[in-house]
Chain A
Amino acid sequence: MLATPVILIVSFAYLGLLFAIAHYGDRRAAAGRSVIASPYVYALSLAVYATSWTFYGSVGRAAHTGIGFLPIYLGPTLMFALGLLVLRKIIRISKANRITSIADFVASRYGKSALLGGLVTVIAVIGIVPYISLQLKAISDTFSIVQHHPDLISPADLESASLFADKAFYVALLLAAFTIAFGTRMLDVSERHEGLVAAIAFESIVKLVAFLCVGLFVTFGIFGGFGDLFERAAALPGSGHLFVAGEEGTGYGELLWLTVLSMLAILLLPRQFQIAVVENVDERHLSRAVWLFPLYLLAINLFVLPIALGGLVQLQGTGAQADYFVLALPMAEGQGALTLFAYLGGLSAATGMVIVETIALSTMVSNNLIVPVLLRRRAARLTEGRDPRRLILRIRRGTIVAVLLLGYAYFRAAGEATALVAIGLLSFAAVAQFAPAVLGGIFWKGGSRNGALAGLAAGFLVWLYTLLLPSFARSDWLPGSFLDDGPFGIALLRPEELFGLSGLDSISHGMFWSMLVNVGFYVGVSLFSRQDAVELGQAARFVDVFRQTPEGPRFWRGTATVAELEALLARFRGAQRARAAMAEYAPAGGGGGYDGAVAEPGLVNHVETVLAGSIGAVSARVMLATVVDEEPLGIDEVMSILDETSQVIAYSHQLERKSRELEAATAELQAANERLQELDRLKDDFISTVTHELRTPLTSMRAFSEILLDNPEQPADERERFLRILLEEIGRLTRLINQVLDLSKLESGRAEWEIEEVDLRKLVRDSVAATAQLFRERETQVDLRLPEAVPAVATDRDRVKQVMLNLLSNAAKFCEPGRGRVVVELSADGDALRVDVRDNGPGIRLEDQELIFEKFRQGGEDMTDRPPGTGLGLPISREIVTYLGGVLWVESAPGRGSTFSFKLPVARAPTVALRGEG
């Protein structure tokens, strides 16, 4: 039913569609209307992470180990939870430096080191080859399986074919051709490929939909929903370990290592770096993608276990391999169309990975391995002669073919015997070796080139020995005794139980040793080696990326003419783009100058960065050196530039702080000034009020004295009345002067205090008795409420009595004669004694309640309606109570009477006594 031609036609039609999408994407990009400028497309393109390993391998792993397949997808979720911390920083750095690949990133960070870039490239190529072979294996296996439809076969049944009859070989060649057409068809060798990203996003949709279709079909078509499926699976003999973790199922240690491994892989796999960092259109897309991408992973994993269990239940005894249950289940049910769709999903998963991965690798190989070497040997060929872009394209195309053929070779050598997931984990462990250099490089300025070189090399060698060689040994490519007895029979060196470390699975074991030596050498060597000038500069640019202007400090100077720079750029970017790139640079002082002019350092930097976008940082540097007479900066100069930058930052922080302090001080001064002015005004008021108060009695005394003097004939009773008034006025004057003196003593702290134990009950009673006459005159009733007993208070008896008398006479004054009623109450209130004097007078308006405590401010409407008294009683009372450690306040409302209260602390330390008469 599914004849070979049908499968072939469908496969090619699908690839053709991809191509059309990519073409459309490129055309839109050229027209300036990007189709990929969306967080959704960005998140979908990130899903290139899900390869045929996910599509087929996860099911196989789930069928064998239960939850062992999940950490590979939980890890990326965790890394994206850290996304804003790590990923955003890497993206920012890469955009500022036009980074083209992970090798470029590492090389750039450690002083644009060609050696380091080359090492990373070699590790990436060797590490990724097994992963690519996995995809080849998946495509050729699934092709065979579908080809035999409706018979179920196991790939192991297929006889090993010779090279030219082997489908995988043709798949490799075909994919190479396809990738070349995709990624390197244009002469433009810039770092970004918009059309490619659009196609990858489309592939992500296809594989997700295909997998979900199969999942739904298995769960609800073959079985009666999840409940039925799990029940029948649990009934299978020996399936118990699939539902638990720990000792019976997948070990916790292994789960932990797999999580860590996949956290690193999502960041460091060359294709993930390409898509997430290099192809990123807008940094802000990240904030949506950090949850969209994990959501995608969750969706594509939802049906992994149901399909795995469904396969175990339905296909037991048929010999179908668990890795390919996704195809085998629809086939066994006779669903031809669904089988074909599932096959397409798998194809899209595999092609997506292969295309992006090989493009990323080819960029790395050309920019970080071959071009630097060529430049060193014969720089002339790239700077003069024919178009260098053709050469670079040829290098990239050659790399693509070579990588795919290497993948095929690994497939022949080791791949056939191993499960998909085991191969993939090998690659994960290889790229995880970049972690110390990359993560250390963006957070630790001290990480040095030598440290990165030592760490990478050591980690890689351990990976080679503990993970790659055993995979060869398992497929009889090396003698089996190598694994069992160790090389040359030295048991201590057994690659999977190094130094006798046993009890770990091989991935955990390999990761432990390789990370140990990697991190150890990176940190150790970094601490003991000196960084050179360029390294120091780059370290600062990377680690402090968020604290710099886009240009960053410049660690370079040289002389070249503008024309030379433009010519150089034109060789790699084309004349038009070169002119545009030159125009982009507009320093503060105006244009970049004219052809003959000597370019300023900023322009040279700009050209180097743009060039780096095409051929990588290392090559760009070497390239530029061919036209620029460089005077390299000494280490001292770089240090001083760095110091200057950090000093400027520090100074500006200091300045900011100083100016804030100054502002605060100014505000304080202003407030103090206002307060002083207020006090000055108060003093003036006080003097004028006092004078006024003095003048009134003086005037009347003078008037009466004159009358008495002028009329000696006056009747005796008349004279006596006038003399009485005179006496009264003199008394009033004396009182006023005494109070003013008293207040001034109190305020200046020169008052005399006699602190002794005072019984407030007696004091209150005495005060009421002393004012009894006053109340009787005004026909006001006084209620005295005293508790049985109160503690004694250490205080000044006469002063408190003065307060009491003042409050009582006030109450008497304000009560309406005949209907007045005053309540005097003493009570204990916590640690204090409280006295309330309540009257039923006219009350005090809320806005006046604080005013009455000011000097010469009295209750009443205005000056004409002033009650008798000096207006100093309450201010004096408050001074006294406050001095004795208490409070005096009023509660009142118009028409409801007023309550004046004060509290005196019982356990007051007699500090006042110590002040004596000072």
Chain B
Amino acid sequence: MAFLGFLLFNYPLLSLFSTEGKVLGIPVLYAYLFSSWALLIALMALAMRRSG
């Protein structure tokens, strides 16, 4: 999961979202970073619950 995070938060995936433009009024890069961050946290919570 750490590997997934490392992939999400760095070049080259990051560069795909490094464009001007907005999603629901929020710059693409920030919308991407915060939503993938939240996703990662949710995954971690899920994994922890699974493993008890």
Contact = CB atoms under 8 A, between A and B. Distances in A.
Interface of A: 66-67, 70-71, 74, 77-82, 225-228, 230-231, 234, 240, 243-246, 249, 252, 255-256, 259, 287-288, 290-291, 294-295, 298, 302, 305
Residue of B14, B19, B30, B34 ringed by the most chain A CB atoms within 10 A: B30
Contacts of A79: 2
Contact of B48 (A78, A287, A302): A287
B4 to A, nearest CB: 8
Interface string B5-39: 11001110011001110101111111001100110
B20 A230 contact: no
Given A225-B25, A244-B29, A78 B2 contact: yes
Contacts of B11: 246, 252, 255-256
Contacts of B38: 298
11 contacts: A74-B33, A81-B44, A228-B25, A243-B28, A244-B18, A246-B11, A246-B15, A252-B10, A252-B11, A259-B10, A291-B44
B29 A81 contact: no
Contact of B30 (A67, A81, A240): A67
A290 B26 contact: no
Contacts of B51: 287
B2 to A, nearest CB: 4
Contact of B24 (A227, A231, A245, A256): A227
A653 B11 CA distance: 46
Contacts of B1: 81
A294 B33 contact: no
A225 B26 CA distance: 10
Contact of A81 (B5, B22, B33): B5
Nearest to A309: B27
B41 A295 contact: yes
A288 B27 CA distance: 32
B41 A245 contact: no
B33 A70 contact: yes
A71 B42 CA distance: 19
A231 B48 CA distance: 40
A80 B1 CA distance: 10
A67 B31 CA distance: 12
Given A70-B33, A78-B9, A255-B9, 15 more contacts: A67-B29, A78-B5, A81-B2, A82-B2, A227-B22, A227-B25, A231-B25, A240-B20, A245-B18, A249-B18, A252-B10, A256-B11, A290-B44, A291-B41, A294-B37
A345 B52 CA distance: 35
B27 A77 contact: no
Given A290-B48, A291-B45, A245 B5 contact: no
Contact of B20 (A78, A225, A244, A256): A244
Interface residues of B, number: 31
A78 B8 CA distance: 11
Contact of A71 (B9, B22, B34, B48): B9
B48 A230 contact: no
Nearest to B12: A252
A71 B11 CA distance: 12
Contact of B9 (A225, A259, A288): A259
In the complex, the 5 A-B pairs of residues with the closest C-beta atoms, listed nearest first: A227-B25, A252-B11, A81-B2, A291-B45, A291-B44
Given A245-B15, A245-B18, A294 B27 contact: no
Contacts of B41: 77, 291, 294-295, 298
B44 A243 contact: no
A70 B22 CA distance: 19
Nearest to A80: B44
Contacts of B6: 78, 259
A62 to B, nearest CB: 10
Contacts of B40: 77, 81, 294
A305 B11 CA distance: 21
B29 A291 contact: no
Contact of B34 (A234, A240, A291, A298): A298
B17 to A, nearest CB: 8
A66 B18 CA distance: 11
Contacts of B37: 74, 77, 294, 298
Nearest to A229: B25
Residue of A70, A244, A252 ringed by the most chain B CB atoms within 10 A: A244
B14 to A, nearest CB: 6
Contacts of A288: 48
A46 to B, nearest CB: 14
A291 B48 contact: yes
Residue of A74, A234, A290 ringed by the most chain B CB atoms within 10 A: A74
A302 B34 contact: yes
B27 A243 contact: yes
A240 B18 CA distance: 11
Given A240-B20, A291-B45, A230 B9 contact: no
Nearest to B5: A78
A73 to B, nearest CB: 8
B44 A245 contact: no
A306 B37 CA distance: 18
A300 to B, nearest CB: 12
Given A225-B25, A243-B29, A255 B14 contact: yes
Residue of A71, A228, A294, A302 ringed by the most chain B CB atoms within 10 A: A294
A52 B40 CA distance: 26
B29 to A, nearest CB: 6
A305 B30 contact: yes
A15 to B, nearest CB: 33
A191 B11 CA distance: 42
Contacts of B30: 67, 243, 305
B52 to A, nearest CB: 8
Contacts of B5: 74, 77-78, 81
Contacts of A298: 34, 37-38, 41
B41 to A, nearest CB: 5
Contacts of B34: 298, 302
Nearest to A253: B11
Contacts of B19: 244
Contacts of A256: 10-11
A225 B25 CA distance: 9
A230 B25 contact: yes
A313 to B, nearest CB: 15
B25 A226 contact: yes
A302 B37 CA distance: 11
Contacts of A77: 5, 37, 40-41
A277 B51 CA distance: 22
Contacts of A227: 22, 24-26
Nearest to A227: B25
A231 B10 CA distance: 26
Contacts of A259: 6, 9-10
Nearest to B44: A291
Nearest to B30: A305
B22 A230 contact: yes
Nearest to A294: B41
Nearest to B11: A252
A74 B14 CA distance: 13
Contacts of B44: 80-81, 290-291, 294
B36 to A, nearest CB: 10
Contacts of A252: 10-11, 14-15
A884 to B, nearest CB: 55
A245 B11 CA distance: 9
A192 to B, nearest CB: 25
A291 B20 CA distance: 31
Contacts of A74: 5, 9, 33, 37
A249 B28 CA distance: 14
Contacts of B48: 287-288, 290-291
Contact of A67 (B20, B22, B33, B45): B33
A235 to B, nearest CB: 13
A230 B42 CA distance: 27
A303 to B, nearest CB: 11
